[in-house]
């Protein structure tokens, strides 16, 4: 099989040795001898049409016709006529009968590129052809038959379009009898420099110029670019450098100066089509997840409070010597920080009339405020700053009453409460409340009815 793959690469000008590429070619060769439908997936510019030609040329239909059709390039109003034909008078300007591609290429292969852009109405016609080999011309009631093999391709995630109602699920499974995944160029880093040399040498031979070369650092720069345009983009770069560069051997600096985009690193981002397909339902789902995270964080904070209180109550914790606190070497330009420490200590730790350590150097000690009188112990008070902290029963009772609260973690209740707050904030004006909540007015009406909210 490796010999066949090598000859296929040579015949169709395929350059590369990555396992993902060879696996795709191997699958194409295995399925070529059958009449099964094939769905080729992969980003734009990875060579999906070449794979469809390999399947046709190595099948029993190789002596019949082959045509590649871009479903996204045909207007929705004429695609049915293009594929299945029409009769005279079927629509305006239909002055004669016309055969469609499925009739003209009977016995051959039709490659439907960008199948994800096909209208839903046309998808129903295509499904009938795949299942029964039957179709009807536009404006006719006569059923005709065809024996055409369909190879489809897409750069979209069809299952996501199925879930959003933009592609028929039964058609998807009928097309994807044998799926072939074409790897993106960034997934084939070992092939990038091979392809660059191939394109540069071919272009130099056509233009009768010396082929361009890259040093090791320039090669590394080339291999670590993400290549969103895949093989088409790499070919354009090779040809541009061959013409525009005065040097025939380029360094990484030369390459970066001429192609600054190679220095970019594309970070993950939300695509516009994902936002369009997700709709408001996706937004609400994300908001509910955020609510859950916030509620969990609040519950964890309450648990942490309880743990700290229990440690203070049940352990013989002692207050550190105030002199040691004041001896901390604070920066000279932060007197407010030292005063804040002293204020906190005086308000919370009791008697702090112990001598204070002078700050390092010759700087004058900060003017610490005296401890409040109501916190100073009486002269006969034998308490010490080293005595353990005592938590009386009144403090415990106050903590129990004010801190330990059962949290309502219901997402529905949280959503209802937010809607009520928004309506109150905007005095019942639903349009403004919906904008505040980030949802449509229709969704707000539905939620008000669902939660039985009275304005």
Q: What is the DSSP string of 228-240?
A: TTHHHHHHHHHHH
Q: Is residue 147 part of a domain?
A: yes
Mean per-residue pLDDT for 274-284? 51
The proportion of the chain whose per-residue pLDDT surpasses 70, expressed as a percent, equals 72
Tokens of 102: 């499925």
Q: Using only C-alpha atoms, what is the Rg of the chain?
A: 37
Q: Are 117 and 136 in contact (CB under 8 A)?
A: no
Q: Supply the pLDDT for residue 408.
A: 64
Q: Is 420 a residue whose pLDDT tops 60?
A: yes
Same domain, 238 and 378: no
User: 375: pLDDT confidence band, cut at 50, 70 and 90?
Assistant: very low
Same domain, 233 and 339: no
Mean per-residue pLDDT for 251-274? 71
User: 302: pLDDT confidence band, cut at 50, 70 and 90?
Assistant: confident
Same domain, 445 and 346: no
The pLDDT tens digits for 120-136 are 999 999 999 999 999 98
Domain end: 360, 384, 402, which one? 402
Q: Is 379 a residue whose pLDDT tops 60?
A: no
Q: Supply the pLDDT for residue 108.
A: 94
- CA end-to-end span of the chain: 73
Instruction: Report strand pairing: 143-145 vs 134-136.
Output: antiparallel
Angle, helices 19-32 vs 2-12, to 10°: value is: 90
State how far the Cα of 147 lies from the Cα of 170, in Å rounded to an integer: 20
Same domain, 175 and 192: no
Q: Is 310 a residue whose pLDDT tops 90?
A: no
Q: Is 224 a residue whose pLDDT tops 50?
A: yes
Distance of CA 200 to the CA centre of its chain: 34
User: 298: pLDDT confidence band, cut at 50, 70 and 90?
Assistant: confident
Same domain, 381 and 294: no
User: 411: pLDDT confidence band, cut at 50, 70 and 90?
Assistant: confident
User: 406: pLDDT confidence band, cut at 50, 70 and 90?
Assistant: low
Range with lowest mean pLDDT among 58-62, 238-242, 308-312, 321-325: 321-325
H-run or E-run covering 69: strand 66-70
Higher pLDDT, 253 or 400: 253
Q: What is the mean pLDDT of the chain?
A: 79
Q: Are 140 and 103 in contact (CB under 8 A)?
A: no
State how far the Cα of 61 lies from the Cα of 110, in Å rounded to an integer: 11
Greatest alpha-carbon pair distance for the chain in Å reads: 117
Q: Supply the pLDDT for residue 122.
A: 92
The domain of 97 spans 2-183
Q: Is 372 a residue whose pLDDT tops 50?
A: no
Higher pLDDT, 49 or 453: 49
Same domain, 65 and 164: yes
Instruction: Report strand pairing: 38-41 vs 109-113.
Output: unpaired
Q: Supply the pLDDT for residue 305.
A: 78
Q: Is 435 a residue whose pLDDT tops 60?
A: yes
- Which DSSP letter does residue 404 get? -
Q: Are 142 and 136 in contact (CB under 8 A)?
A: yes
Higher pLDDT, 93 or 348: 93
- Classify residue 410 as left (phi > 0), alpha (psi -120 to 50) or beta: beta
Domain end: 149, 167, 183, which one? 183
Number of folded domains that form the chain:
4
Domain end: 129, 150, 183, which one? 183
User: 269: pLDDT confidence band, cut at 50, 70 and 90?
Assistant: very low
State how far the Cα of 281 lies from the Cα of 204, in Å rounded to an integer: 54
State how far the Cα of 102 lies from the Cα of 130, in Å rounded to an integer: 11
Same domain, 179 and 55: yes
User: 455: pLDDT confidence band, cut at 50, 70 and 90?
Assistant: low
Q: Are 288 and 411 in contact (CB under 8 A)?
A: yes
Q: Supply the pLDDT for residue 303.
A: 81
Q: How far is CA 21 from CA 50, 232, 246, 337, in A?
A: 12, 16, 34, 64
Same domain, 156 and 175: yes
Mean per-residue pLDDT for 308-314? 73
Q: Is residue 272 part of a domain?
A: no
Q: What is the DSSP string of 350-417?
A: ----SPPPPPSTTPPPP-PPPPPGGGSPPTT----TTSBP---HHHHHHHHHHT-------HHHHHHH
Report the SS3 class of residue 374.
helix
Full-model pTM? 0.56
Q: Bridge partners of 181?
A: 41
CATH number of 301's domain: 1.10.10.60
The pLDDT tens digits for 133-190 are 999 898 888 899 999 999 999 998 999 999 999 999 999 999 999 999 999 999 999 9
User: 450: pLDDT confidence band, cut at 50, 70 and 90?
Assistant: confident
Q: Is residue 315 part of a domain?
A: no
Q: Is 399 a residue whose pLDDT tops 90?
A: no
Higher pLDDT, 241 or 434: 241
Sheet bearing 109-113, strands edge to edge:
66-70, 109-113, 149-154, 38-41, 178-181
Same domain, 35 and 56: yes
Mean per-residue pLDDT for 420-440? 85
Same domain, 10 and 125: yes
Q: Bridge partners of 214?
A: 250
* Nearest partner of 165 among 123, 111, 221, judged by Cα: 123
Q: Is 385 a residue whose pLDDT tops 50?
A: no
H-run or E-run covering 111: strand 109-113
Q: Are 37 and 10 in contact (CB under 8 A)?
A: no
Q: Are 405 and 242 in contact (CB under 8 A)?
A: no
């Amino acid at each position: 099989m490796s010999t066949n793959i090598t000859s296929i690469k040579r015949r169709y000008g395929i350059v590369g040795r990555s396992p993902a590429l060879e696996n795709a070619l191997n699958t194409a060769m295995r399925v070529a001898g059958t009449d099964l439908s094939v769905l080729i997936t992969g980003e734009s510019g990875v060579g999906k049409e070449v794979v469809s030609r390999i399947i046709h040329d190595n099948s029993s239909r190789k002596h019949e016709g082959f045509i590649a059709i871009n479903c996204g390039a045909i207007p929705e109003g004429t695609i049915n006529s293009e594929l299945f034909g029409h009769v005279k008078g079927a629509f305006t300007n239909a002055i004669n009968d016309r055969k469609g591609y499925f009739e003209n290429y009977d016995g051959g292969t039709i490659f439907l590129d960008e199948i994800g852009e096909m209208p839903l109405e046309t998808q129903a016609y295509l499904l009938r052809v795949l299942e029964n080999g039957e179709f009807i011309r536009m404006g006719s009631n006569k059923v005709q038959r065809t024996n055409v093999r369909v190879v489809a391709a897409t750069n979209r995630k069809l299952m996501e379009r199925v879930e959003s109602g933009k592609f028929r699920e039964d058609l998807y499974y009928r097309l994807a009898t044998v799926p072939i995944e074409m790897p993106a160029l960034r997934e084939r880093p070992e092939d990038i420099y091979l392809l660059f040399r191939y394109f540069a040498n071919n272009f130099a031979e056509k233009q009768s110029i010396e082929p361009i070369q890259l040093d090791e650092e320039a090669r590394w720069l080339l291999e670590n670019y993400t290549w969103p345009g895949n093989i088409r983009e790499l070919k354009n770069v090779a040809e541009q450098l061959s013409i525009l560069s005065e040097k025939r051997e380029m360094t990484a600096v030369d390459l970066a100066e001429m192609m600054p985009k190679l220095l970019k690193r594309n970070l993950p981002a939300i695509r516009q089509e994902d936002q369009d397909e997700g709709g408001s339902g996706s937004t609400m789902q994300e908001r509910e997840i955020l609510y859950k995270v916030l509620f969990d964080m609040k519950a964890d904070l309450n648990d942490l409070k309880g743990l700290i209180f229990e440690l203070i109550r049940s352990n013989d914790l002692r207050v550190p010597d105030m002199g040691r606190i004041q001896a901390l070497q604070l920066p000279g330009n932060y007197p407010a920080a030292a005063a804040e420490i002293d204020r906190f200590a005086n308000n919370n730790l009791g008697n702090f009339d112990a001598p204070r350590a002078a700050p390092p150097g010759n700087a004058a000690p900060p003017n610490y405020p005296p401890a409040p009188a109501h916190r100073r112990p009486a002269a006969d008070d034998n308490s010490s700053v080293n005595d353990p902290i005592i938590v009386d029963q009144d403090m415990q009772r106050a903590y129990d009453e004010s801190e330990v609260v059962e949290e309502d973690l219901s997402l529905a209740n949280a959503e209802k409460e937010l809607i009520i707050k928004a309506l109150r904030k905007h005095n019942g004006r639903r349009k403004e409340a919906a904008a505040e909540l980030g949802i449509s007015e229709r969704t707000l009406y539905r939620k008000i009815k669902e939660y039985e909210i009275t304005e």
